[in-house]
Amino acid sequence: MQFRVDRIQAAVLLVLLLAATAFASDWDRGVKLYNTGDFKAALVEFQDIVMERPDAAGAWYYIGLCEFKLKRYDRVELPLSHAIDLLEIQTPATPDIASAWYTIGISHYLQAHYDKSIDALKRYIDINSKAKREVDPSARTALARSYFSLERYDEALPLLAAAAREKAPTPADERIKENAANEYYLGAIYFKREDDDHAIVALREAVKGNPEDVAAMELLADSLMRKARKSSSDARWIEAAEVGERLKLTRDDLKTANILGRAYLGARKFDSAVAPLEKIAKANPDNGQAWLYYGIALSRSGQMRKAMEALEITIQLTPESIPALLELGYVYESDKQYQQALRIYEKAYAASNDPAIKASVDRVRALAAQQP
């Protein structure tokens, strides 16, 4: 996000300064230094001026701007507050008052002082709106993201939606990324509210605008999978896996493997699920759920020997896991190891007393009796 920091505009301030030649010289020198980007030297000039002329609003204003340009954001508010107090007396209609509130608000935003940022930015927007002056889009964006950071989502939503549609006077590439960021924040709010229909739409736009946005891809995949579980939609699972593959190109880690494994498992693409789920299981040797998912992927892709090993580990970690017991029983039964299957099914039935599992026990007992 680009922030606009304006130079002083009020002509009356120059009148006050030009009353004495020495002050006029200091002023001109300070402004020249500021305009050439020598903010430290400019700051010294303006500090000298306010030592002699504490009512020089323009000098206080430039002190605040210099501190902002030097990224010493914690030093911005005090001089700009002095400037505002003086300007409200000397030239109450000047746009510099609004600009000072803008700079204060952005300084707080950059320090993550979101409550203070909100107060200052609202003052800026209110003053400019009443004066029918243009409001800088970055102010609304920073205000929206401040609300978001404070979990004040009802206030953030309309601002983010407007910011995502706004055509700011910035270079095209930068504007696309800004809009993508706003779509991400919109999607994050909808995701937190479990409104996956709106979250998916916003997060798709976020990824489209910034294909390397890891957070947006991760959240989009999670939203797609949650929607898929609720609606039994294979298309959502497959899209989640596609997002996971794009994410892997940028960030190939355990988080990405977890997304890919779950998405491929949900899409019933078990061959594709094996590698990421193996990565998760081996990185978490004490996690029974990780080994269960890995074992299921192996089982459903026909890798029975490996499935047996993974599911035996699962049962060692979670002995009462009915899904793990049933899957292992199925694997032994499919491999015609009926005695082993019977042992596992009996254990599952003892833990659950489920009539359906009792039927599996009876079926496999009959098969075992037929074996030589």
Q: What is the pLDDT of residues 252-310, one digit of tens each?
A: 999 999 999 999 999 999 999 999 999 999 999 999 999 999 999 999 999 999 999 99
CATH tag for 170-268 (out of 3.40.50.2300, 3.40.50.2020, 1.25.40.10, 3.40.50.300): 1.25.40.10
Tell me the percentage of the chain whose pLDDT exceeds 90: 81
Q: ∠251-255-256 over CA atoms, to 5°?
A: 50
Domain boundaries for CATH 1.25.40.10 within the chain: 1-144, 170-268, 270-372
pLDDT tens-place string over residues 5-58: 665 554 344 444 444 555 667 788 999 999 999 999 999 999 999 998 898 999
Q: For the whole model, what pTM was predicted?
A: 0.82
Dihedral sign computed on CA atoms, order 34, 40, 41, 47: positive
Q: Where are any strands of DSSP class E within 249-288?
A: none
| 1-144: CATH architecture | Alpha Horseshoe (1.25)
CATH dotted code for 270-372: 1.25.40.10
**Alpha-carbon distance 183 to 165, whole Å?**
10
Mean pLDDT for all residues in the chain: 91
pLDDT tens-place string over residues 308-343: 999 999 999 999 899 999 999 999 999 999 999 999
Q: What single-letter DSSP state applies at residue 169?
A: S
Dihedral sign computed on CA atoms, order 169, 173, 176, 180: negative
